[in-house]
Chain A
Amino acid sequence: MSHAPRKSFRQSMAWLHTWSGLVVGWVLFAIFVTGTASYYRTEISHWMRPELSAPTADPATAATRAAAFLGRTMPDALAWSVKLPTAEHPTAEVYWWNNPAGPYHHALLDPATGEPSQARDTKGGDFLYRFHFELSLPPVWGRWIVGICAMILLVSLISGIVTHRRIFADFFTFRRDRSAQRGWLDAHNVVGVLALPFHLMIVYTGLVELGPLLMPWGVKAAYQDDILAYYAETGIMAAGRKPAGQPGTLMPLGEIVARATAAHGEVPEVVMVTGPGDAAASVTAFFEEPPGLAHLHPQIVYAGDTGAELSRTGDVAAATRTGAVMIGLHEAHFAAAPLRVLFFICGVMGAATIASGLVLWTVARAPKGADPAGFGLRLVRILNLGTIAGLPTGLAAYFLANRLLPLDLVGRADWEVRGFFAGWTLAALAALLYPKARAWPAALGVAALAYLAIPLVDALTINETRFLGFDAAMLAVAMLLALGARLASRPRRQMRAAQPNRSRAVEA
């Protein structure tokens, strides 16, 4: 394995592709699955909070009520943020904090009362979204790990393209019956190549999203590490004002929302109050991204005491706009329903590329005849099974916990997350205890049953027609997993036929 660097460029890239893909494959699989699910984060959150329907107050009133709640909860906060209710998000979502490093406190407020919503306590789709780039770890740690994995994936994609130079010829080749290894290699190539533009786009734009954390050296060199000055100068953020250091009174937040609505012609998405207890408080109204690819939210900043306009965002120049378009592409907010489906399918293909690559690694190294499997091979097999079959089971457990946990359970949202990890861990452990030959069909079969249970449990607990789409999607996932279980349980006669022309996967 380590002789590769002395060989040709393509051989060294084959070596690099194999090993870079292996070491982070399992984390990448989890990142792809949760990221792909995040395309439907809003729909998932709706399903997980069935108590909520249409908002019951206009945005300005909701803003004033939210400010009253925040004023009681943390009057001396560094900042408050209020996401105004819309048809898609029927509650006022508030955050408040007095340290930029956190903790960031969070609540959903009923717009009608300004009090915490009575909807069940859950993290909803936001858990999957945050897991996608923080892995349920402390944010900075999680983001660095995800960033490192993304960098390794970028290297793996480049070396994979070099290795696999016959992209178009091989694309129309699917030698399922030649040998297990050929079949897995062709499957890996098909899903990898078919969505290759998506894979390259999603990994590079993901790195750009984490850019300020991973690569802060430009901001350090040119702005002495003052990232807010950089954001203000690029036009990404409108500049606020410095705190006065003495107490002041905030005008009703609803009035500022009304002014912002009149000034911009649409209701702001979010209003953020900086220094709410300070005489020089400022209120930033963030509007939805204008049509187009760029992830740039127009903003207007108002003085918190008088409501006078202080500043607003202007034009953003080419390089910064390019970065904003990359972030827009990654998040796909611009994508209407059909395009979103395409992004989702591409994300699934990304996960499938990773999964087939991981399996291919073990198939290509399967010992012949009676040779015992080495420790490395056994470890990779265990991790493959635990991740590829275990993670989907964990997700199903998360959704089932949402429907089945008692509504008045203390720390309910955290218990749902524990359900996710418990489902994942149990599925992985159970798969380990099974004999090797039947472990895959058993693990995928259990996952299929778990997804099948979701629409049934939903029908027995909530049973509302607006959730039929979500339930149908869960049914589709269950069918796919059942199909996988069936394929995995087929007798392996091709394996025996394949022995004579066994070759290294990466040299195909």
Chain B
Amino acid sequence: MSARPMPGLTDRLSVAGRVVLAAFGGYGVAALSTALFALALPLPRSEAVSTGTLASFAIMAGAVVWVFSARTLRRAALVLGVIAALLAAGLWLAGAFSPMVVP
């Protein structure tokens, strides 16, 4: 790699940050959206779960592409965080976090 400038520590940390954010943030957003689809889609329960699971990998891929294309790591984290918070709020409204009543 003789022709390339050596990246500085800040750059390396920023790349590492994006990798971590893409992996865990991307998976988190995909997982939250799958759960929300499963509970909130106006379909029979089984169909809602299937739809959520099928879509989840596209959602994760989209999140990863976003993390690596955002102008800064901070911006990438902020947007992903807001989306995750909205999904979690939706899940809370759908009753995912209330104690389960076994029918």
| A-contact 0/1 string along B5-42, CB 8 Å cutoff | 00100011011001000000000001110111111000
User: Bound complex: CA of A158 vs CA of B48, how far in Å?
Assistant: 26
Instruction: Give the interface centre of A5, A208, A230, A368 by most chain B CB atoms within 10 Å.
Output: A5
| B-contact 0/1 string along A198-242, CB 8 Å cutoff | 000000100110011001011111111000001001110000000
Flag whether A322 is at the interface (Cβ < 8 A): yes
The answer on a CB contact under 8 Å between B38 and A155 is no
The answer on a CB contact under 8 Å between B65 and A320 is no
Flag whether B3 is at the interface (Cβ < 8 A): yes
Closest B residue by C-beta to A372 = B2
| A-contact 0/1 string along B56-88, CB 8 Å cutoff | 111011001100111111000000000000000
Closest B residue by C-beta to A154 = B61
Binds B, one of A10-18, A104-112, A469-477: A10-18
Flag whether A141 is at the interface (Cβ < 8 A): no
Flag whether A159 is at the interface (Cβ < 8 A): yes
User: Bound complex: CA of A376 vs CA of B15, how far in Å?
Assistant: 17
**Would you mind naming 11 contact pairs between A and B with Cβ atoms under 8 Å apart?**
A1-B7, A2-B7, A5-B18, A5-B71, A13-B65, A208-B53, A211-B57, A215-B30, A218-B38, A218-B53, A320-B50
The answer on a CB contact under 8 Å between A218 and B61 is no
Given contacts A1-B4, A233-B46, contact A323 B38 (CB under 8 A): no
Chain A residues contacting B65 (CB-CB under 8 Å) are 13, 16, 155, 158-159
Closest B residue by C-beta to A326 = B54
The answer on a CB contact under 8 Å between B1 and A215 is no
B68 is contacted by which of A3, A12, A151, A211 (Cβ under 8 Å)?
Answer: A12
Binding site for B on A (CB under 8 A): 1-3, 5-6, 9, 12-13, 15-16, 151, 154-155, 158-159, 204, 207-208, 211-212, 215, 217-224, 230, 233-235, 317-320, 322-323, 326, 365, 367-368, 371, 374, 376-377
Given contacts A224-B100, A368-B2, contact A217 B12 (CB under 8 A): no
The answer on a CB contact under 8 Å between A219 and B14 is no
The answer on a CB contact under 8 Å between A323 and B50 is yes
Chain B residues contacting A208 (CB-CB under 8 Å) are 53-54, 57
The answer on a CB contact under 8 Å between B12 and A2 is yes
The answer on a CB contact under 8 Å between A318 and B4 is no
The answer on a CB contact under 8 Å between B35 and A218 is yes
User: Bound complex: CA of A3 vs CA of B5, how far in Å?
Assistant: 10
The answer on a CB contact under 8 Å between A151 and B57 is yes
Chain A contact residues, majority secondary structure: helix
Flag whether B93 is at the interface (Cβ < 8 A): no
Closest A residue by C-beta to B102 = A224
B1 is contacted by which of A218, A219, A377 (Cβ under 8 Å)?
Answer: A377
Instruction: Give the interface centre of A2, A207, A219, A377 by most chain B CB atoms within 10 Å.
Output: A2
User: Bound complex: CA of A11 vs CA of B91, how far in Å?
Assistant: 36
Chain A residues contacting B44 (CB-CB under 8 Å) are 233, 317
The answer on a CB contact under 8 Å between B31 and A318 is no
Closest B residue by C-beta to A10 = B69
Closest B residue by C-beta to A159 = B65
Chain B residues contacting A377 (CB-CB under 8 Å) are 1
Given A221-B91, A317-B46, 19 extra CB contacts under 8 A: A2-B12, A3-B7, A13-B69, A16-B68, A151-B61, A155-B61, A155-B65, A211-B53, A212-B53, A215-B30, A215-B57, A218-B56, A221-B49, A234-B46, A317-B47, A320-B47, A322-B50, A323-B54, A368-B2
The answer on a CB contact under 8 Å between A15 and B2 is no
The answer on a CB contact under 8 Å between B34 and A217 is yes
The answer on a CB contact under 8 Å between A323 and B53 is yes
Instruction: Give the interface centre of B3, B44, B54, B96 by most chain A CB atoms within 10 Å.
Output: B54
10 tightest CB-CB pairs across the interface, nearest first? A218-B38, A2-B11, A221-B35, A218-B49, A319-B50, A218-B52, A233-B46, A234-B46, A222-B38, A2-B7
The answer on a CB contact under 8 Å between B69 and A12 is yes
The answer on a CB contact under 8 Å between A233 and B45 is yes
